[in-house]
Amino acid sequence: MNKPSHVEPSTTPMTRFVDQQQDSHSLKNYQHHGGYLGLKNALSLSAQEVLQQVKDSGLRGRGGAGFPTGLKWSFMPQGEDTPTPKYLIVNADEMEPGAFKDRYLLEKTPHQIIEGLLIAAKAVNADIGYIFIRGDYYLAIERLNQALQECQENNLVGTNILGQNFDFQIHLHTSAGRYICGEETALINSLEGKRATPRAKPPFPQVSGLWGKPTIVNNVETYCNLPHILLFGVDWYRSLGRCKDVGTKLFGVSGRVNNPGLWELPMGTPIGEIIYDHAQGMQDGYQLKGFLPGGGSTDFLLPEHLDTPMDYDEIGKIRSRMGTGTITVLDDKFCPVKMVLNLVAFFAQESCGWCTPCRDGLPWAVSLLEKIERGEGTESDIEQLIDITRFAAPGNTFCALAPGAVEPLQSALKFFLHDFTEHIERKCCPYQHQASAKPPAQAKQAGDDHG
């Protein structure tokens, strides 16, 4: 393998060059740390060989669903008589409540994303790439534009990339803002200039996606894994996990912990280790009441689940989802009804309005939760909320938005039912006068020390 001696395999491949480098986003620094060497390796292999490496690596999609990446790619039709152009899309429309990992990668490592995109393009013979980025991510947009410019100047995009007879165009699309754009078929509609309503599947985008052409959509973090798999090899990558799932993952914690933040850790790191070792536990005077393991559309878990490894299947066994891997901690001084209300109100607002359980069910849940939070709820409101979680269950809706929205609701009704009934019995929110916001140290503008 042709690489400088200082580029060694690391236990934190995606972020190893970030912490010590203020300008880790520049091409110069990225290349100094081995950037684009994975691409060079990929370009020396056949498409089939690159695809096989990604399959063998065991990489699973980091957007939340955890679908095996290589398998997803293998559904794209290949061969002379298949439609062209073939599209690859980077889903950088991070808007899941509580998720803040893609912003970090976009701002700190734009070249890592582009390299991953180019490697994926080689594997599936794609012609055109789109990076679909959230419109509010101004710094990330600026840095991606810079990075793409650097790629233009250094023959890393366009035609005959690195003289290897490989062509690939990349466009940056700035979203006008809507959570549903994160759903891959809604994202495709949005790229076509339409309202971002999801499409019926099948046909799946791999067969008929953007403009009816074969299209693959992957999350930012998924792409970021690829350069390292191609540079350091499948065996090394598989050795990184602490469980059945392989590789590393950005895990984060927010809420009333001592050290909120983001860390690249092996897959399978136990939840308790993330909350207590890395986030340094709860702030003084606050107890851990529960947590969402991976964003606003995952089921609540309890302190008794802290030993569970962050692993798609293990979290699934305790009836939640690893989702984005960014944990949100609920403390004992914040009203669980209010937290769920915030989430369901968000999903109700962001519903595209296409199907009834979502368009009508979620606002109905919001009005019931508001009533309970105001102290005007009744026992039958709780029964209605439970009904709504069933109406909006998977299989009853067009896409995953409403089923995701009711995940925190259904688990809150299970784990924090006492809090709901207390609101009803006491005719007020029992938490209202408890929350005394401890002001954070100081406000500042986001700078390079973010994360």
Instruction: List interacting residues with other proteins (CB under 8 A).
Output: 94-100, 102-103, 134-139, 173-179, 190-196, 211, 252-256, 260-262, 296, 326, 328-331, 334, 338-339, 342-343, 346, 349-350, 352, 437, 439-446, 450-451
**Edge-to-edge strand order for the sheet containing 128-133?**
169-174, 128-133, 87-92, 215-219
Q: How far is the CB of 449 from other proteins (least distance, A)?
A: 10
**Is the CB of 139 or the CB of 386 nearer to other proteins?**
139
CB nearer to other proteins: give 36 or 87. 87
Axis crossing angle, helix 138-153 with helix 110-124, rounded to the nearest 10: 60
Structure tokens of 256? 């009333």
Residue 429 φ/ψ, nearest 5 degrees: -85, 115
Q: Which is nearer to other proteins, 57 or 208 (CB)?
A: 208
Looking at beta carbons only, is 334 or 391 nearer to other proteins?
Answer: 334
Ordered alpha helix ranges (H), 239-297: 271-272
CA distances from 353 to 134, 180, 181, 390 (A): 21, 10, 13, 18
Nearer to other proteins, 56 or 277 (CB): 277
- Between CA 354 and CA 180 the distance in angstroms is 11
Distance, C-alpha 375 to centroid of its chain: 35
Q: How far is the CB of 380 from other proteins (least distance, A)?
A: 27
Phi, psi of 292 (to 5 degrees): -100, 120
We find the least distance from the C-beta atom of residue 6 to other proteins, in angstroms, to be: 30
Confirm if 26 and 45 have CB atoms less than 8 A apart.
no
Smallest gap from Cβ 407 to other proteins, in A, equals 13
Closest distance to other proteins from the beta carbon of 400 (Å)? 17
Residues in the chain: 451
CB of 334: closest distance to other proteins in angstroms? 6
What's the closest the beta carbon of residue 419 comes to other proteins, in angstroms?
15
Which pairs from 354-357 meet CB under 8 Å and 24+ separation? 354/197, 354/198, 354/398, 354/399, 355/397, 355/398, 355/399, 355/402, 357/391, 357/392, 357/396, 357/397, 357/402
Q: How many other CB atoms are found less than 10 A from the CB of residue 339?
A: 22
Q: Which is nearer to other proteins, 4 or 212 (CB)?
A: 212
Rounded Cα gap, residues 28 and 442, in angstroms: 33
Nearer to other proteins, 34 or 97 (CB): 97
CA proximity to 221, closest of 265, 176, 162, 180: 265
Nearer to other proteins, 60 or 101 (CB): 101
> CB of 211: closest distance to other proteins in angstroms?
5
In the complex, what is the shortest distance from the CB of residue 139 to other proteins, in angstroms, rounded to a whole number?
7
Preceding peptide of 266 cis, ω within 30°: no
Q: Rounded to the nearest whole angstrom, what is the least distance from the CB of residue 172 to other proteins in the complex?
A: 11
Contact by Cβ (8 Å): 392, 362: yes
What the block records as the tokens of 350 is: 């962001």
According to DSSP, the β-strands at 288-292 and 261-266 are unpaired
Rank residues 43 and 224 by Cβ distance to other proteins and give the closer one: 224
CB nearer to other proteins: give 165 or 436: 436
Nearer Cβ to other proteins, position 42 or 279?
Answer: 279
Instruction: Sheet with 261-266: list strands edge to edge.
Output: 261-266, 248-254, 326-331, 288-292
Q: Which helix (H) or strand (E) holds 413?
A: helix 401-415
Supply the minimum distance, in Å, between the C-beta of residue 89 and other proteins: 14
